[in-house]
Amino acid sequence: MGEGRLSELGALAKASGEKAFLVYDPFLKGSETLEKIIANLKNNGVAVIEFNDISPNPRNTSIDAGTELCLKEKCDVVVAIGGGSAIDSAKANALVATNGGECWEYTERAGEEVTRPTKRGLPLIVVPTTAGTGTEATSFAVVNNPAEKRKCTIITPYIYPDIALVDPLIMTTIPSMITALTGLDTFAHALESYISVNATPISEMLSLYSIELFAKSIRKAVNEGENVEARDQMALACGLGGAAIGTAGVTLPHALGQPLGALTDAPHGGTLAACFPQIIEWTLPYAEDKLSKVAGILDPSLDRDLSDTEKSSQLPRILRELYQDLHVDVSFGKYGLKESEIEALADLCFVGFLQDIKAHPKPVTREDVIYLINKCM
Amino acid sequence: MGEGRLSELGALAKASGEKAFLVYDPFLKGSETLEKIIANLKNNGVAVIEFNDISPNPRNTSIDAGTELCLKEKCDVVVAIGGGSAIDSAKANALVATNGGECWEYTERAGEEVTRPTKRGLPLIVVPTTAGTGTEATSFAVVNNPAEKRKCTIITPYIYPDIALVDPLIMTTIPSMITALTGLDTFAHALESYISVNATPISEMLSLYSIELFAKSIRKAVNEGENVEARDQMALACGLGGAAIGTAGVTLPHALGQPLGALTDAPHGGTLAACFPQIIEWTLPYAEDKLSKVAGILDPSLDRDLSDTEKSSQLPRILRELYQDLHVDVSFGKYGLKESEIEALADLCFVGFLQDIKAHPKPVTREDVIYLINKCM
B107-108/B150-155 β-pairing: antiparallel
Last residue of a domain, one of B134, B169, B204: B169
Same domain as A185, residue A120: no
In terms of domains, do A189 and A283 share one?
A: yes
- On whether any CB of chain A is under 8 Å from the CB of B363, the answer is no
- Spatial CB neighbours of B310, under 8 Å, sequence gap ≥ 6: none
Do B305 and B361 belong to one domain? yes
- Domain count for chain A: 2
- Do B336 and B192 lie in one domain? The reply is yes
How many angstroms away from the CA of B205 is the closest CA of chain A? 7
Can you give the pLDDT at residue B348? Answer: 86
Mean pLDDT calculated for residue range A71-88: 96
Residue A191 has pLDDT above 90, yes or no: yes
Let me know: does B238 contact B186? Beta carbons within 8 Å: yes
Residues of chain B with C-beta less than 8 angstroms from the C-beta of A300: 304
Bridge pairing between strands B19-24 and A163-164: unpaired
In whole angstroms, what is the distance from residue B17 CA to residue B10 CA? 10
pLDDT at position B57, please?
Answer: 78
**B349 and B325 in a common domain:** yes
Residue of B nearest to A232 (CA): B201
Q: What pLDDT is stored for residue B303 in this prediction? A: 85
DSSP strands (E only) in chain B: 19-24, 47-51, 77-82, 107-108, 124-128, 140-145, 150-155, 163-164
Instruction: Check if B304 contacts A (Cβ < 8 Å).
Output: yes
Task: Tell me whether residues A201 and B300 touch, CB distance under 8 A.
Answer: no
Q: Do A152 and A212 sit in the same domain of this protein? A: no
Q: Does B211 touch chain A (CB under 8 A)?
A: no
Is residue A149's pLDDT more than 80? no
pLDDT exceeding 90 applies to what percent of chain B? 82
Overall pTM > 0.90: no
Q: Is B236 on the interface with A (CB under 8 A)?
A: yes
- Span between the terminal Cα atoms of chain A, in Å: 39
The domain of A45 spans: 5-169
User: Do A268 and A370 fall into the same domain?
Assistant: yes
Query: How much is the pLDDT for B99?
Result: 97
B217 lies in the same domain as B359: yes
B147 Ramachandran zone, left/alpha/beta (phi>0; psi -120 to 50): alpha
* pLDDT band per the 50, 70, 90 thresholds, residue A352: confident
- Judge: B205–A205 Cβ closer than 8 Å, yes or no: yes
pLDDT class for B45, splitting at 50, 70, 90?
very high
Do A162 and A308 fall within a single domain? no
DSSP string covering B233-271: HHHHHHHHHHHHHHHH---HHHHHHHHHHHHH---HHHH
Q: Which chain B residue is nearest to residue A305, measuring alpha carbons?
A: B301
> Is residue A146 located within the same domain as residue A199?
no
Q: What CATH number does the domain containing B184 carry? A: 1.20.1090.10
Residue A149 burial (CB count, 10 A): 9
So what's the pLDDT on residue B90?
98
What is the chain B residue with the closest CA to A209?
A: B205
Lowest mean pLDDT among A86-100, A128-142, B309-323: A128-142
pLDDT at residue A254, as a whole number: 94
Domain final position from A169, A188, A211: A169
- B212 to chain A: nearest residue by CA? A205
Whole-number pLDDT of residue A258: 86
* Cα gap A250→A257, rounded to integer Å: 11
Helix (H, G, I), strand (E, B) or coil at B148: helix
Residues of B in contact with A199 (CB under 8 A): none
> Can you count the helices (H) and strands (E) in chain A?
16, 8
Q: How, if at all, do strands A140-145 and A150-155 pair?
A: antiparallel
Q: What whole-number distance in Å separates Cα of residue A109 and Cα of residue A152?
A: 7
CATH number at residue A116: 3.40.50.1970
Whether residue B208 and residue A209 make contact (CB cut-off 8 A), yes or no, is: yes
Percentage of chain A lying above the pLDDT 70 cut: 100
If asked whether residues B220 and B161 sit together in one domain, one would say no
Could you tell me if B216 and B285 lie in one domain?
yes
The model's confidence at residue B189, banded by pLDDT at 50, 70 and 90, is very high
Domain-terminating residue out of A124, A147, A169: A169
Distance in Å, alpha carbon of A209 to nearest chain B alpha carbon: 7
Average pLDDT over residues A14-35: 94
Reply yes or no on whether the pLDDT at B305 is more than 90: no
